[in-house]
Structure 1
Amino acid sequence: MVAVHVLNGPNLNLLGTREPATYGAVTLAGVEERLKAKALAAGVELTFRQTNYEGELVSFIQQAGLAGAGIVINAGAYTHTSVALRDAIKGTEALAIEVHVSNVHAREEFRHHSYMAPVCVGVICGFGVASYDLAFDAIVPLLQKRLAKPAA
């Protein structure tokens, strides 16, 4: 069965109340409910997590990657600072898509660099919480293709 882990980093627990002009009014629980419905309809196992701690996010990535699950990750500010997250994705050979609610390239200069992007299969940003839906829709067929490949 295809499994997708949606992993959220620091301050995403404040989604819906933190800077609504930038991040919108939908809460993280609202995003989770939307994705649960998509996963159920697609027959996909969904795990949804949030943490404010970098080491815990590394552990979440390792668990998902080693289990062969796809990862939709919004690492928040850790995107721009964490070699550890990059190494966890690369080290587990996880299929991962980096997600951002806002368009990070239209914001402060320090948000323009991602340590994770080079080891992710794609990056989706700037579509509000629909960025999560787009990432889910993109990763499922990639996982299905990976599962269909015969072992070497």
Structure 2
Amino acid sequence: MKKTYIPSLLVGGLALALSACVTTPYVAPESGAVAELAVRITTAKGTGIKLYIYDDAETCSGAKTIIDDAGKTNITATKLAAGKLTTFGYDELMGISSCKVNFSFFPIADHIYVLDTLTGRRACTTRIVDATDVNNVLPVPLINRTMNGARCAPLKK
């Protein structure tokens, strides 16, 4: 999923918003059906980032922080509840530009997923692959929830 950067005139306000938006840390499920998630975030030096997961995947509410860091390559691992919709939010702030995307997918129990981000010229990209079989890594279809200015576009039913 690729999202174009949006110039911002309120850099200080946006930086404050990024730091104040999500403060509760994500706690991985300890029981039930789970999937593994590895996260690799690669950004340009000086880029502020946040990756979070929503308690309510349909309404994008109850954000919990997975990664909150600036200017570093981040690698982390966690678990996700399997068999139900999972929605992530990803924010980047680089200079006067920002990138904000929400995306969803349905994790399958006992699968291993890798979420990658990459900052390019005027865009940030997120993708998830199913790496359960390392000899046959498969792209995972994501549901783009950031459309037409909406941060949490409703799901098509």
Bigger fraction of residues in strand: 2
Greater helix content? 1
TM norm structure 1: 0.31
TM-score (norm: length of structure 2): 0.30
